[in-house]
Amino acid sequence: MPDLATLALFCAATLALLVVPGPAVLFIVMRSVAQGRSAGLVSVLGVHAGSLVHVVAAALGISALLAASATAFTVVKYAGVAYLVWLGVRKLMQRGTDEETVATETHSRRRMFWEGFVVNVLNPKTAIFFLAFLPLFTDPAAGPVGPQILLLGLFWLVLGMVSDGTYAMAASALAGRLRRSAKARRRLDIGSGVVYLGLAALLTGEKA
């Protein structure tokens, strides 16, 4: 299992990434603004049920490869670093766009849950992110990699539900204000890019 220092670094990195809105957060925020706090929180549960699918897939798809080859571990690590750099550069170069409108009709909680689930499960970028990010904090010398990925994934899920739940409640309270500030969205893009690039630089110095 990862040691306490690794877990602390992982939690800090996870929180740094989670506080920067991504596609799933935007989905949750828009649902909260359109339909209120309850809708937003149900959407959070659906989104992170989808995240659990990606965590399990990452554990099953990478553990044997990483356990068998130190070279493969290094390749995956730097693929993750390259992915984070790409995300950072993309965010820094991104221009503000018009926000999508959200239908205001009332949906059942079950439907809202499954919509959140499908949004996340069918997002290939989410799958690639988990495949790239979670193995960066594993250590083959500490035991089987698969259980380490699952443990890290559970930490991610807990922190993610807290972070996204906070967004849902704040969005439902602020409502329309979140839709009007293009300047605020641009500042979030810049902050996001800096976080991704800083994390990539930090992980480059970590030992495999």
Interacting residues of 177 by C-beta distance below 8 A, sequence separation 6+: none
- CA–CA dist 93, 161 (Å, integer): 29
- pLDDT the model gives residue 37: 83
- pLDDT the model gives residue 206: 56
Give me the domain span that covers residue 181.
Answer: 4-204
- pLDDT the model gives residue 115: 80
Label residue 10 by pLDDT band (50, 70, 90).
confident
Residue, of 67 and 78, whose pLDDT is higher: 78
- SS3 state of residue 205: coil
- pLDDT the model gives residue 101: 38
- pLDDT the model gives residue 207: 55
Domain count, the chain: 1
Interacting residues of 186 by C-beta distance below 8 A, sequence separation 6+: 96
- pLDDT, tens only, 137-196: 888 777 788 888 899 999 999 999 999 999 998 888 875 555 556 666 666 667 767 876
Q: Please, which contacts does 202-206 make with residues 24 or more away whose CB atoms are closer than 8 Å? A: 202/13, 203/13, 203/77, 203/80, 203/81, 203/84, 203/136, 204/78, 204/81, 206/77, 206/136
Label residue 5 by pLDDT band (50, 70, 90).
confident
Q: Please report where in the chains the tokens 């209120």 appear, as a residue.
A: 36
Q: The whole model's pTM is what?
A: 0.67
- pLDDT, tens only, 43-57: 999 999 988 988 888
- pLDDT, tens only, 112-135: 898 888 877 776 667 777 877 888
- pLDDT the model gives residue 104: 39
Residue, of 122 and 207, whose pLDDT is higher: 122
- pLDDT the model gives residue 62: 60
